[in-house]
Amino acid sequence: MKTIAEVAAEFDVSTRTIRYYEEVGLLVPERTSGNRRLYSKADMARLKLVFRGKRYGFSLEEIKEMILLFDEDRTGKKQLKRTVEYGESRIAEIEDAIAEFQALKEEMEILLGQFKQKLQEEEEGS
């Protein structure tokens, strides 16, 4: 069991972030008789999933849904199915963003080429 300060330090986040995840239902730490939070290995595993999901661009609601599905179905099938659905959707979003950036890059390269040509013409004409 770890304290909130230990958990925050391990994940390099603020204690406020950990408390927020508790507020939105992602974590349910045990409490001591003095009402101090204690986080289990299961809580730590959930936090790893939260931070991984955030890194991949999933919303907290999506992450929460994926995590809570395991509690609903201990076989993990529902969780895996939803994770695949969200993952495929996120990959499609990333592919769209890549295509947009590629088009932007190509447009900028054309403009840059035109600017270089104009600059060269100006320098030759001087």
Do residues 36 and 73 touch, judged by C-beta distance below 8 A?
A: no
For residue 11, give the nearest of 37, 33, 34, 43 by alpha carbon: 43
Residue with tokens 């770890």: 2
pTM value is 0.75
Q: What pLDDT, in 10s, does the model give residues 19-66?
A: 999 999 999 999 999 999 999 999 999 999 999 999 999 999 999 999
Residue with the larger pLDDT of the pair 126 and 15: 15
Phi-psi region of 12 (alpha: psi -120 to 50; beta: other; left: phi over 0): left
User: Residue 37's pLDDT is what?
Assistant: 94
Domain range summary for the chain, segments of one domain joined by +? 1-55, 59-126
CA distance 108 to 5: 48
Q: Classify domain 1-55 at the CATH topology level.
A: Multidrug-efflux Transporter Regulator; Chain: A; Domain 2 (1.10.1660)
57 φ, ψ (degrees, to nearest 5) = 90, 15
Please state, rounded to an integer, the average pLDDT across all residues of the chain.
94
